Amino acid sequence: MRPYFLIFLLLLTGLFAARAQNVPTVDAVYAQPIKTILLYPLLGGNAADPARTLNPPLVALGTEQPPLILEFDDLTANYRAFRAKLIHCNADWQRSVLNDIEFTYDYNDYPITDYQLSSGTKVPYYHYRFEVPRVKVSGNYVLVVYDERNRQQILFTRRFSVYQNRLGITPTIEFSAGVQERFTDQQINFDITYRGYPLIAPQDELKVVIRQNYRDDLVITGLRPTNVRAFDNLLEYRLFDLKNTFPGGNEYRFFDLRTVISRANYIGKIDRQPDRDIAYVYPDAPRSRGAYQLADDFNGLFVVDQLESRNGTTQADYITTVFTLKVEELAGAEVYVNGAFAFWQLNEANRMAYDPAERAYRAEIQLKQGVYNYLYAVKGIAPPVARSGVSPRGNELLIEGSYSATENDYEIFVYHRPPAARADQLIGYRKIGVNRRK
């Protein structure tokens, strides 16, 4: 019987491998009962701290690396067996040609066995937790979660990166050098030192990616060094064509949904019904005109928490959250509520509908209790000037505006494919903030 079982297992694995070739390597949810997908490094070892999820899904390569933790909820309220698989990607997030054995230590098919049932919530759910296994090589990865009973049913995909700091990155951020963009954009200049790391053609071999606020839809790629100081093993990136500038955007809007007993920050009303609670966020207005206003935010992220129990993992309820944007109807355009809670995607789940009676756009989104950042994006009306660092998914500048004084986080990723290597490796990473208040 054992040989037949091995043959069956190989056939099953082959079927999934063929299916995985067609898996989009993006952050996406393919099954609506799956909610609140969190992927973060367990820094400091405090698994109960709500702020743990504010760290991007990125870890250093090595045996002492902090583990990446995956958490998500299944709102079917029925236990289901799930499994996970890793996909290695190149710098452009296209699947690499590496075989599983080249980047994993174990068989690349992992059961997700840690789960809990929600407690004291009107909306029942199962909460799952999974520690992402260590990998052998640095680079970009996609975590694929699927149904154990139906391996063709992929539930969601989630990106993460593993890096080695084999290069030195020295960034500086300042107002844009462009005259018209000086009060709206932020410019990222940087140097890369590669002393001790072999590069044959330094000006051509490295692939550099700059990312704003941990968003894969706000990136700049294809940058080339403006100066190569070979004797100093130094690459300078001082671009004068504004290709290394981002619109500063605006501080993210936020609201506090940690309790439904009383109205917290920016919650105008709470309707407590037998089967669910409905929270109404204060109506919003456009912010693209006028002076910049300072505000603290999570740079688009969110934390899950429940104020009374301090246990957001299984005691935070799902609240129907109503958003309202007071603006005249935009002809030929669609308006969306966007944030990390939606993976920065613009789809039916976060699209707003125009209410002529209220002269406003409205949307209802089911969210787990916590503190959320969000903004409004428009499809169908492009920015007046094509600019780098602008999300291709939607125009956020129309409603939110852009200011060079905005506080933002930036990351610089440096990829390289060594001679005889078959995939891009992430050999340099640096994070830097601008206009920090604390």
Does this model's pTM top 0.85?
yes
Are residues 329 and 235 part of one domain?
no
How do the residues of the chain divide into helix, strand and coil, expressed in percent and rounded to 5?
10, 40, 50
Are residues 71 and 52 part of one domain?
yes
Instruction: Give CA separation, 180 vs 45, 245, 246, 247, 381, in Å.
Output: 46, 13, 13, 12, 21
Q: Structural domain of residue 234, as residue ranges?
A: 168-248+406-434
Q: What CA–CA distance (Å, rounded) separates 380 from 8? A: 50
Please give the biggest Cα pair distance in the chain.
Answer: 75
DSSP assignment letter at 135? B
Are residues 131 and 199 part of one domain?
no
Q: Which distant-in-sequence residues (6+ apart) come within 8 Å of 274 by Cβ? A: 122
Q: What CA–CA distance (Å, rounded) separates 415 from 207? A: 5
Are residues 241 and 319 part of one domain?
no
| Tokens linked to 43 | 């820094």
Are residues 261 and 204 part of one domain?
no
Q: What CA–CA distance (Å, rounded) separates 234 from 225? A: 10
DSSP assignment letter at 103? H
Q: Which of 106, 138, 163 is the last residue of a domain?
A: 163
Q: How many CB atoms lie within 10 A of CB 27?
A: 23
DSSP assignment letter at 348? G
How many structural domains are present in the chain?
Answer: 3
Are residues 387 and 327 part of one domain?
yes
Are residues 345 and 263 part of one domain?
yes
Q: Which distant-in-sequence residues (6+ apart) come within 8 Å of 177 by Cβ? A: 187, 240, 242, 245
- For 248, phi then psi, to 5°, come to -65, -20
Q: Which of 121, 140, 163 is the last residue of a domain?
A: 163
pLDDT in tens, the chain (438 residues): 444 444 444 444 444 444 456 788 999 999 989 999 999 998 876 777 899 999 999 999 986 767 899 999 999 989 999 999 999 999 999 999 999 999 999 999 999 999 999 999 999 999 999 999 999 999 999 999 999 998 889 999 999 999 999 999 999 999 998 888 999 999 999 999 999 999 999 999 999 999 999 999 999 999 999 999 999 999 999 998 899 999 999 999 999 999 999 999 999 999 999 999 999 999 999 999 989 999 999 999 999 999 999 999 999 999 999 999 999 999 999 999 999 999 999 999 999 999 999 999 999 999 999 999 999 999 999 887 777 889 999 999 999 999 999 999 999 999 999 998 999 999 999 999 999 876
Q: What CA–CA distance (Å, rounded) separates 55 from 52? A: 6
What CATH number is attached to the domain comprising 173?
A: 2.60.40
